[in-house]
Amino acid sequence: MKKETFKVKGMHCASCSSIIEKSLKKTEGVESVEVNYSTEKAKISFNESKTNLEEFSKKINHLGYSLETLSEETSNKPTAQEMGMSESEHSAHLGLNQSKKEKLAEIADMKKKVMTAIPLAIISIFIMGWDILAQFKAVSEMPFVWEEFFHHLLPIFATYTLFIIGKPYLLGLYRFLRYGKANMDTLIGLGTSVAYLYSFIVTAFEETLQPFINVNNTYYDVTIVVITFITLGKYLESRAKIKTGDAIEKLLNLQAKTALVLRNDKEQEISINEVVHGDLLIIKPGTRIPVDGIISDGSSFVDEAMITGESMPVEKKIGDTVMAGTINTTGSFNFKATKVGKETLLSQIIKMVEDAQGSRAPIQALADKISSIFVPIVLVLSFITFGLWLFFGWKTLGISQSISYGLTAFVGILVIACPCALGLATPTAIIVGVGKGAKEGILIKDASTLEKLHEVNTVVMDKTGTITKGKPELTSIKNLSLQLGSGQAKLSDEEIISILVTLEKKSEHPIAHAISEYAKSKNIQSLNISDFEIIKGKGVKGIIDHTEYFAGNTKLISDLKISLDIAQIEKETSQGKTPIILATKNELLGIIMVSDAIKPEAIEAVKNLHKLGIKVVMLTGDNKNTALSIGKEIGIDDVMAEVLPDEKLNKIKELQSQGRIVAMAGDGINDAPALAQADVGIAMGTGTDVAIETAGITLLHGDISKLVKAIRLSKITMRGIKQNLFWAFIYNIVGIPIAAGLLYPVFGWLLSPVFAGLAMALSSVSVVGNSLRLKTKKL
C-alpha cells in the first residue's frame, strides 16, 4: 500500500472533509482516507495497481473539490529542484496548501467582495432598524418616498449579493440538488435562495398575492446581511488560519541557504535546492554543512551536536560521512553529496511538524462524527420546522403570519447551524500548539502525542546529553603551587590555565578543546613554547619561559615520581570527572577537573517538573556512583544506573505496570526502544536521528528546560481545545432551537436570520481567535 498526502482545494467547511472522505473511500483500491479541513490536506493509503490521482479526482471534481500532489509544482523543474522543497511544500503548513502568494491573492479577492457587500448590508440594517424602532414608536414611520425608493433598491442589492458575492453558496446548493452532497455552503445557499425567491415572487406578484398574505414582508435584507456576515466571517477565518501556521518558516532558517560547489574546476556558490547527488562541495571553517555526503579530500573536526549527540566535535577524514545541519569547526574539506533536499534530517524535521499539524487528536473524533451527519440533520430539521409552523400557525396566526414566521425559522436554522465551529475547534488549536512548540524548539510528531503529554505523571531521563551537556568542560581548578615552600614560584589560577592552554593548543584532543574554551571565556592568552612533545597515552610536555612543564594523567605524574593524593582523584573520577595534572619535573603545580557538566537548566527543569506534580527518574548506562552524584545534585527522585538498552525498555514497562503515565527523554540509539515503549517519547535534538524518529516529541538544541515547556504547552493546548469544543457544541445546541422558534410560545421571541447569520459568522471566528490566543500564552 502506498501512503501519500495530497493538497485539497475547494473546501469551505468541516462537512466538506467528510464528503471527500466518504467519496474517496468508495474508490476501489483505497484502504484509508483522512481529510483535514484546517490544513486542507488528504492523507490517502491506496493500492497503486488499482487506483491513482486521476481516479480520486473523478470522484470529487464534480462536487467542486480537487486534489493535487504536494510535489506537483516541482514536476517540470530540473532534478536538483525536484530534490529540494517547493514553495508549496514550504507553505503547506499554513493550513492552505496553495503557495502563500496564491492564498493571499484569494484573501485579497475575498476582502474586495466583503468591502463591496458591507455598504449594502449597512443600508439594509438601517432600513430594518428603522422598521423595528417604528413598531415600538421610538421613531416615526419612514417617509413614503424613502420607503418606495428602498422597496425598489433592496431587490437590486439582494440580486447582486446573492449571485455575485454568494456564488459559492449557490454552487453548494446546485451540487446538493444534483449530487445529493450537502455542506455548509448548501445550508447558506438554500436559506438565502429561499428568502430571495419568496421575496421576488411577492414583489413580482404583489397585487395578486395581497388578498392572501402580507406583501410588505420581504426578506431581501436577510439575503444581503446573511451573505455579507458569512463572507466576512470566512474572510476573517482565512486571515486567522494563515497566522496559525507560521512556525515552519522559523525552522527553515536553521537550514543552510547556499552551498559552495566545485563544478568545471570552478568554485560556485549556488542555492541549496540546486545541489544534486554527486556534487563536490567545499566546506570552510565555521560554515554549516548544507547536505549529507562523504569526505573526498581534507579533514576537520565537525560539531555534530544537532544530529548525533556526540560529546564534542568529531574528527572527520577522507571516507567519513558528514550530515546536513552540522557545523564545521576547524579545517577545510571537500565532500561528495549523497543526500540532498527532502532526504536530509532538517527536512525530515520540517515534515514532522507539517504531519503533526495535519494529524488528528483522539479528542477530535466526536466532533468529526457529528460534523459528518450535521448538515443532513439540519436540512431535515429546517423543513420539519417550516412544516410545523404552517401546521400549528395556520389557525392561530393566519396563513400570512404562519408562512412569514415559518420562513424566518426555516432560514434561521439553515443559517445559524455551524459545522465549521465544530470542525475548527480541535485542528486550529493543534496547529497553533504545534507551531508554538516549533518556535520554542519543541517538535511534536502528532496531535495524539500532544494530547497524551498533558496526562504524564512520570518523566524518565537519560543522563548523557539530556541532563548533562554531553561535552567536556573545565569544572574546577586546584592550585597546588600556593602550597609550595618559600623560594619556589607560586602561580595564579590564570597562570596555570595559561601554561595548560599553551601545552594543549597543538593537541586535537577534546579535553584540550575544553581547556582552550575556558581560556577564551576568561580572555587568558597562550605563551610561547619550545621543545613540545606528545607523550603517548599520558600527556604532553614543553618548555615555557625556560621551565619544562608536564600536563597529563596520573600515569605521567607517576613516571615523574611525584607524590599524589590518588584517593582524592579517584573519588572525583568516580563522579565522572577527568583530571589534568600540571607539574614541573619535581613539583605538582595544579590539578584541573574536566567533566561532562550538568546543564544549567537541568536543576530548574527538575524543580519545575516537581511543581507540576511529576516524578522524575534518571535511567542511565553510566556507573552508579556518577549517576547517584548527579541525581543528588539536581534533585532526581529515583536513579537507575548501569542499565543496558534492553533493560531501559523493561524499566519503562515496570513503571507503566504501576499505573504511571511515562514520558521518556533520551538522545541516543540505545534510548530508541525505551522511547518507543514510553507513553510519550521525547528525543533531545542533539541526539541521533534514530532517537528522533522513534520519539513523539523532539526538543531542539537538547535543552531539557523545554521538556517543562512541552508539558505546559500540552496542558494549554488541551485546555484551548476543550474550550473550543464546549462553545461549538453549546452554540449549536442553543442556537438551532432558538432559531426554530422554541422561545416564541413563551416570550414571543423569534430570531431574525440576520442575527443568526451574525452569530454563525462569529462562532467560527471566535473558535479560531481562541486558538490564536494560545500564541500569547507564556510557557
The per-residue pLDDT for 100 is 62
162 contacts 129 by C-beta, under 8 angstroms: no
The per-residue pLDDT for 298 is 92
| CA–CA dist 491, 590 (Å, integer) | 9
* Residue located via cell numbers 581547556: 515
What is the per-residue pLDDT across 417-472, written as a single tens digit (0 to 9) for each?
766 677 777 877 888 888 888 777 788 888 888 889 999 999 998 887 788 887 78
| CA–CA dist 725, 367 (Å, integer) | 8
pLDDT at 70 over 80: no
The per-residue pLDDT for 606 is 94
Given the residues 185, 221, 355, 462, the one annotated as active site: 462
The per-residue pLDDT for 354 is 65
| CA–CA dist 429, 773 (Å, integer) | 9
pLDDT at 753 over 70: yes
CA-to-CA dists, residue 106 to 96, 98, 326, angstroms: 11, 10, 39
| CA–CA dist 441, 304 (Å, integer) | 18
How open is the CA angle 300-306-310, to the nearest 5 degrees? 65
Mean pLDDT across 184-208? 83
CA-closest candidate to residue 42, choices 64, 12, 13, 21: 21
Phi, psi (deg, nearest 5) at residue 36:
-110, 115
The rounded Cα 583 to chain-centroid distance in angstroms is 55
Question: Mean pLDDT score of the chain, rounded to an integer?
Answer: 81
| CA–CA dist 22, 8 (Å, integer) | 15
What is the per-residue pLDDT across 696-725, written as a single tens digit (0 to 9) for each?
888 876 778 889 999 999 999 999 989 988
Top-confidence residue, 549 or 236: 549
pLDDT at 403 over 60: yes
Top-confidence residue, 761 or 154: 154
Mean pLDDT across 536-558? 89
What is the per-residue pLDDT across 518-533, written as a single tens digit (0 to 9) for each?
998 889 998 998 998 8
What is the per-residue pLDDT across 21-62, written as a single tens digit (0 to 9) for each?
888 988 888 988 988 776 778 889 998 888 888 888 888 888
Contacts of 228 (CB under 8 A, 6+ apart): 114, 117, 118, 120, 121, 161, 165, 757
Confidence of residue 737 (pLDDT cuts 50, 70, 90): very high
756 contacts 429 by C-beta, under 8 angstroms: no
526 contacts 537 by C-beta, under 8 angstroms: no
This model's pTM is above 0.85: no
pLDDT at 689 over 60: no
The per-residue pLDDT for 73 is 36
What is the per-residue pLDDT across 757-768, written as a single tens digit (0 to 9) for each?
677 767 777 888
pLDDT at 382 over 50: yes
462 is catalytic: yes
What is the per-residue pLDDT across 324-333, written as a single tens digit (0 to 9) for each?
877 888 789 9
